[in-house]
Amino acid sequence: MCGIVGWINNTNEINKQHFQSMVESLRHRGPDAESVYISANNKIAFGHTRLAFIDLTVSSNQPLCNNKKNIWITFNGEIYNYLELKKELIDSYSFNTNSDAEVLIAAYEIWGISFVNRLKGMFAIAILDESVNQLYLIRDRFGIKPLYYYISNNQLIFASELKAIICSGVVNKTIDYSSFADFFVYRYIPSPKTIWKNIYKVEPAHYISIDLTSLKYDVVEYWELIFNPNKQFNDNLINEVGRLLRKSVLEHTKADVPIGAFLSGGYDSSALVSFMKNLGESPKTFSIGFKNWNKSEHSFAKLVADHLQLDNESIVADQQSISQIDEMANVYDEPIADISIIPTFMVAKLAAKSRKAVLSGEGADELFAGYTWQQDFKQKATSTNYFSKVFAKIKTNDTVDFYAKSMAMGWFDNRELKKMLCPHLHQYIPKDCHWFYRKHFNKSLSPLKSIQYLDVKCFMAELVLTKVDRASMANSLEVRVPFLDHDLFEQIYCIDEKLMFNPNQSKHLLYENIKNDLPEIILKRKKQGFVGPDDYYMQTEFYKEELSNATLVEHNIIQQSYIDELLNNKYDWKLWKILVMEKWFNQWIAN
């Protein structure tokens, strides 16, 4: 995995010192090598920090160019089908390396921008085509890898993380207060917005085509997740799902270095290590637990590892671990209030001591309908009892309303935001505070499929994958997610929900493929998210110490009376969101 950065200045020469600072700010994403390309007129710069997995030689360092030296690439990610693509291209292109990056250059040169439709993997790609004075910024289908950009004042800057763009010295650090309000509703800043004015995210499954003369650009969505109810499957659906999963795991373990795995003892991560074991791998596994908690995942992970005869290393969080919240503002760049941001960082730090990459189970719940809210909504929407149907309709109102309540973890709506924010900021509160959910709600889908789709576009893409990328890459660790192979996802998503959903067995299509390979105690475990015990988060005295004299209050943003009211009542998850924002504000504004 890597860090990428670029700067186009149509007015003046690139400030090389500032550009070098931008590159260095991403060294944690790629400590193995660091390189730059600066054009002859000093108005275009590409940078790259490398975490090497394929063709470890210096010849594969990026930025990389084609043989004509008029197409340049800086690329973050892994292309799992690069060898297959190379076979198609080898008669038309003379390769100089064994890297997947050069395959991307060749693919673009031969097939044009449509090459992106052929890629399997996770990626953020910048391609500079000097022959037509065009730049492309491309992000993978699910948003596994990040990509940010700024266009203004005859300049364009892009990077893997916001901190690199800030290091340019070009962008004023001005908060977008509509994004500020969004954070409290969603726990993240929804794409394409960021916390900063004039800086944006390339949305998942999109690319941006930029004319470098005018800096005018087009945003193109190149892939959609489509439900095809007419898709035919083999008679033995369970075996077909197993075949697809094994194929994806095999592709995701390709590397010139050993690949480990995160292991929680739940279905998803346990399935991955089981598949790896059956494919002849013996991955070292890494787990995190919580002190004095009978549901701690590290104990269940140990059972799986012992059963499969795999090495397992774990770290245990305690009540003092929450103090690491001070580091998270720098790790995540913009506020993100997933409750597992600290544990994810901790287990990534542990794994990075002995591995450069791990497999992880993100995407399985979206794929196999494993979340409790998916199942709750499915049951309410399809109940055969008349009174249950009426109650469900009154209770949920509509899918977006149900989903917003399921996601909230500290409910904020327009009324609550006005209560919290100082009056001069009320103008920035969106009229429809659930606009992002509504944007991705597809009413043509069935209840379960519509919730799955919302999870893919909102919960997974914006919260879960952002958390995993920043926590891992802060520790120079690559996380690979086999459940998010898009071919696999497209096929399983098309399975009729009557076949996918079993009220007596969560994720039964996955369960049927692992039931003979894992301990009974693991197979009978109830669904448990990546959480900790309540007393880990609900330390009232800790919040009082951190928020009684909040910097957000000092800067006339949040009202102290609102915080005091929360502190004097039963614990509310709103406090966690305020604390995360307070730490971010102290890191990026107050200091």
Q: What string of pLDDT tens digits covers the 591 residues of the chain? A: 699 999 999 999 999 999 999 999 999 999 988 999 999 999 999 999 988 777 677 767 889 999 999 999 999 999 999 999 999 999 999 999 989 999 999 999 999 999 999 999 999 999 999 999 999 999 999 999 999 999 988 999 999 999 999 999 999 999 999 999 999 999 999 999 999 999 999 999 999 999 999 999 999 999 999 988 777 666 688 999 999 999 999 999 988 889 999 999 888 999 999 999 999 999 999 999 988 776 778 888 999 999 999 999 999 988 888 889 999 999 999 999 999 999 999 999 999 999 999 999 999 999 998 888 887 787 766 655 554 554 444 444 588 999 999 999 999 999 999 999 999 999 999 999 999 999 999 999 988 899 999 999 999 999 999 999 999 999 999 999 999 999 999 999 988 888 887 878 888 899 999 999 998 888 887 765 656 677 778 888 899 999 989 999 999 999 999 999 999 988 889 999 999 999 999 999 988
Could you tell me the pTM of the whole model?
0.94
Cα angle at 137 between 132 and 138, to 5 degrees? 120
Q: In this structure, what token pair is assigned to residue 538?
A: 């609900």
pLDDT at residue 582, rounded to an integer: 98
Residues with Cβ within 8 Å of 64's Cβ and at least 6 positions away in sequence, in order, are 72, 73, 74, 97, 99, 101, 102, 105
Task: Tokens for 329, please give them.
Answer: 């503002």
Q: How far apart are CA 269 and CA 522, in angstroms?
A: 11
pLDDT on residue 535: 75
- Gyration radius of the chain over CA positions: 24
**Residue 69 CB partners (closer than 8 Å, separation 6+):** none
Q: What is the pLDDT of residue 81?
A: 95
Q: Which domains does the chain have, with CATH numbers?
A: 2-221 (3.60.20.10), 259-537 (3.40.50.620)
- 591 class by beta-carbon count within 10 Å (0-12 exposed, 13-18 middle, 19+ buried): exposed
Give 580's contacts (C-beta < 8 A, 6+ positions apart): 325, 328, 335, 336, 337, 341
